[in-house]
């Protein structure tokens, strides 16, 4: 049985501590801003300029292999590039945002408490392993997802305001985008964060945790990037099915992390 | 198995804690070996031993934080297992040398702890004020913990452990790093709290000063093995069955020693000091000693009873163990 009050108490405690660490906030803002402000503005302004397609890694290849029929037939080459990039190419970035943001805080979840010598006190409380792992995961997932959602709103506004007039009116977001952002983003964030929290519980120092997190997260990121665009090329129901599969994976990973969580290992690694 | 109601009854004879043949090994190193003792409800048990003796490992074993390699722990009449450890820990308070949340205020530290132990906001507020009052920290309630002195933080960590009024309280070196005055203050606070709440206490320390005020029972642990355990008064009586006195005799020490030896048989070893310690079976023998000294023209400045302390017991036990 999970005690929500204890989870909430732990999360509030961690957020209070995080809020006093201004250094942690900078990358949380800078990375999403790059994705949702700088890139769409550059795409809208430069269109099919070779400077743009050559400076964004993988963009030219993506455009070359885009299936026929996805871009409205009446669009000019320049409009087609803008549409393809804004609607299809950018999707993975929104899935990367929660992973990147939560990795900054999740890596320190247990090892940070170890380094500050607060973890043992916490382990003496009646908080269960399930509650502890869930609280430490949600502490990172919730702000990262919130940031991804805010980024999505900003992106939507920028895209529709700048590109809408050039593409014949408001065209964004599509329903598949909504599913990806509302459902897939939290699920991907939870999956990646659970894995990083598990790594944090087994690390001796923050550096160890961060290094190991990169190794754990890279396959997840690879999977996300490779599949996200593909999902957009299909339809909403495919995206929903992918979400259901990811939900099952999330639950399985969370239970596995809890099952392998050992207080003894944490205190004897202090 | 004892029912919870039975274990909780005010006149319960069920010991709050039973450690039964506890052994813990890490690889080839044995941290704790065959440890057995029990602590009755409302008693304060001092687990005494030098650094590295196995005290912290014992606390971790007794609270289910680590599992014994062999042996059992029974808390409140229930055998401690991985499945019930969280539930039983709700009835336990632990103060260790771990840190408080340094960037949070005193109030927030206690608030988080109260919520983790299931107290409602009103109860947390009431207990926070009560505890800070006892600990003389009321005026620091809004202070960030990182700004407090070492002594204040130490007191607060004890306060945090007793916030939820635990039935069993573990204190691991509660006076470590404190100056003598702060240490004395903290012991007084602890005695007040323990008496007010009738909590069972297990105190692990190597700092022996002032423990008599706190501990009813002790166990002395060395190199992971419990060397002795029992009621403090009983252990002292067993170790020193005769009453001890100290006489101050000024300069003529050798003559005084001969006189006292004639009366009581022997003088305890007190090298180089102007006073001599000796033991008698009966307090009436003191007047014989004083009369003999006066008769031998030895100036007697004072005669004071010298009750052996936990400090004496600890060193005598460790010394005896080392010799054997």
DSSP string, B165-184: --SEEEEESTTTT--HHHHH
Which tops the pLDDT comparison, B156 or A213?
B156
pLDDT at B11 over 90: no
Does CATH number 3.30.70.100 belong to domain B242-307?
yes
* Residue from B29, B86, B177 to probe the interface with A (highest A Cβ count within 10 Å): B86
* Residue from B82, B88, B94, B101 to probe the interface with A (highest A Cβ count within 10 Å): B101
Nearest to A125 among B26, B60, B116 (CB): B116
Which of the four pLDDT bands, split at 50, 70 and 90, describes residue A56? low
Q: CB–CB of A120/A169 below 8 Å?
A: no
Which of the four pLDDT bands, split at 50, 70 and 90, describes residue B272? low
CA angle B293, B295, B299 (to 5 degrees): 50
Instruction: For residues B8 and B290, give the distance between their C-alpha atoms in angstroms, rounded to a whole number.
Output: 54
Which of the four pLDDT bands, split at 50, 70 and 90, describes residue B156? very high
Going by C-beta distance under 8 Å and a sequence separation of 6 or more, which residues neighbour residue B68? B22, B23, B24, B32, B61
Residue B135 confidence (pLDDT):
84
Judged by CB atoms within 8 Å, which residues 29-88 of B form the interface with A?
60, 63, 65-67, 86-87
CB spacing of A118 vs B115 below 8 angstroms:
no
Closest residue in B to A132 (Cα–Cα): B116
- Which residue ranges make up each domain of chain B? 4-237, 242-307
Which of the four pLDDT bands, split at 50, 70 and 90, describes residue A250? very high
Distance of CA B6 to the CA centre of its chain: 27
Nearest to B103 among A10, A20, A123 (CB): A20
Evaluate the omega torsion of the peptide bond into residue A173 and state whether it is cis, within 30 degrees of 0: yes
Average pLDDT for B72-86? 95
- Which residue ranges make up each domain of chain A? 4-27+89-268
Looking at the DSSP bridge assignments, the partners of residue B23 are B70
Instruction: For residues B27 and B40, give the distance between their C-alpha atoms in angstroms, rounded to a whole number.
Output: 33
* Sheet hosting strand B302-305, strand order edge to edge: B275-280, B243-248, B302-305
Task: Tell the residue number behind the tokens 């996300």, with chain if given.
Answer: A224
CB spacing of A116 vs B99 below 8 angstroms:
yes
What percentage of residues in chain B have a pLDDT greater than 90?
46
- Could you read off the pLDDT of A176-227 as tens digits, one per residue? 889 889 998 999 999 999 999 999 988 888 888 888 888 878 877 777 667 6
Q: Across chain B, how many H-helices and E-strands are there?
A: 11, 13
**Dihedral angle sign, alpha carbons of residues B236, B241, B245, B246:** negative
- Could you read off the pLDDT of B194-211 as tens digits, one per residue? 777 778 999 998 878 777
Average pLDDT for B20-43? 93
Smallest Cα distance from B65 to chain A, Å: 6
Put simply, whether B278 touches A (Cβ < 8 Å) is: no
Top-ranked range on mean pLDDT: pick from A30-39, A68-77, B236-245: B236-245
CATH fold group of domain B4-237: Rossmann fold (3.40.50)
Query: Could you report the predicted ipTM of this complex, rounded to two decimals?
Result: 0.82
Instruction: For residues B168 and B321, give the distance between their C-alpha atoms in angstroms, rounded to a whole number.
Output: 31
- Could you read off the pLDDT of A106-124 as tens digits, one per residue? 888 898 899 999 999 999 9
């Amino acid at each position: 049985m999970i005690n929500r009050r204890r989870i909430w108490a732990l999360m509030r405690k961690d957020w209070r501590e995080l809020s006093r660490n201004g250094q942690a906030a900078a990358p949380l803002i800078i990375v999403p801003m790059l994705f949702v402000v700088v890139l769409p503005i550059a795409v809208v302004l430069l269109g099919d300029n070779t400077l743009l397609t050559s400076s964004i890694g993988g963009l030219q290849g993506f455009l070359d292999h885009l299936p026929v029929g996805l871009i409205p037939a009446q669009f000019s080459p320049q409009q087609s590039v803008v549409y393809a990039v804004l609607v299809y190419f950018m999707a993975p970035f929104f899935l990367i945002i929660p992973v990147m943001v939560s990795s900054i805080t999740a890596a320190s979840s247990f090892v940070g408490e170890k380094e500050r010598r607060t973890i043992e006190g916490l382990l003496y409380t009646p908080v269960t392993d399930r509650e502890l792992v869930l609280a430490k995961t949600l502490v990172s997932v919730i702000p990262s997802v919130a940031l991804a959602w805010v980024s999505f709103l900003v992106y939507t506004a920028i895209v529709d305001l700048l590109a809408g007039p050039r593409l014949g009116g408001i065209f964004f977001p599509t329903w598949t985008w909504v599913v990806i952002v509302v459902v897939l983003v939290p699920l991907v964030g939870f999956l990646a964060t659970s894995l990083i929290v598990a790594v944090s519980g087994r690390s001796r120092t923050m550096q160890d945790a961060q290094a190991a997190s990169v190794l754990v997260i890279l396959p997840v990121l690879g999977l996300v990037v490779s599949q996200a665009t593909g999902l957009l090329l299909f339809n909403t129901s495919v995206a929903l099915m992918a979400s259901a599969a990811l939900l099952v994976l999330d639950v399985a990973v969370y239970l596995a992390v809890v099952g392998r969580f050992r207080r003894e290992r944490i205190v004897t690694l202090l | 198995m004892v029912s919870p109601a039975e274990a909780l009854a005010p006149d319960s004879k069920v010991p709050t804690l039973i450690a039964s043949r506890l052994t813990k090994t890490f690889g080839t190193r044995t941290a704790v070996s065959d440890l057995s003792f029990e602590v009755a409800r409302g008693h304060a048990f001092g687990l005494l031993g030098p650094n590295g003796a196995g005290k912290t490992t014992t606390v971790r074993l007794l609270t289910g934080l680590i599992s014994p390699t062999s042996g059992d722990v029974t808390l409140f009449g229930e055998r401690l297992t991985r499945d019930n450890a969280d539930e039983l820990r709700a009835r336990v308070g632990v103060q260790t040398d771990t840190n408080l949340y340094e960037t949070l205020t005193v109030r927030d530290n206690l608030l988080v702890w109260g919520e983790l132990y299931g107290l409602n906001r009103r109860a947390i507020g009431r207990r926070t004020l009560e505890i800070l009052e006892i600990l003389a920290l009321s005026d620091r309630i809004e202070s960030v913990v990182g700004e407090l002195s070492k002594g204040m933080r130490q007191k607060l960590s004890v306060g945090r452990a007793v916030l939820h009024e635990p039935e069993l309280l573990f204190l691991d070196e509660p006076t470590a790093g404190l100056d003598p005055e702060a240490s004395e203050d903290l012991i007084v606070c602890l005695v007040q709290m323990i008496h007010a709440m009738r909590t069972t206490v297990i105190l692990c320390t190597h700092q022996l000063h002032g423990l008599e005020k706190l501990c009813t029972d002790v166990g002395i642990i060395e190199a992971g093995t419990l060397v002795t355990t029992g009621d403090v008064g009983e252990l002292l009586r067993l170790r020193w069955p005769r009453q001890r006195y100290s006489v101050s005799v000024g300069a003529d020490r050798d003559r005084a020693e001969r006189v006292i030896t004639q009366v009581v048989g022997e003088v305890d070893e007190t090298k180089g000091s102007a006073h001599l310690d000796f033991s008698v079976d009966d307090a009436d023998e003191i007047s014989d000693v004083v009369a003999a000294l006066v008769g031998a023209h030895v100036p007697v400045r004072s005669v004071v009873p010298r009750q052996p302390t936990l400090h004496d017991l600890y060193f005598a036990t460790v010394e005896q163990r080392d010799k054997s």
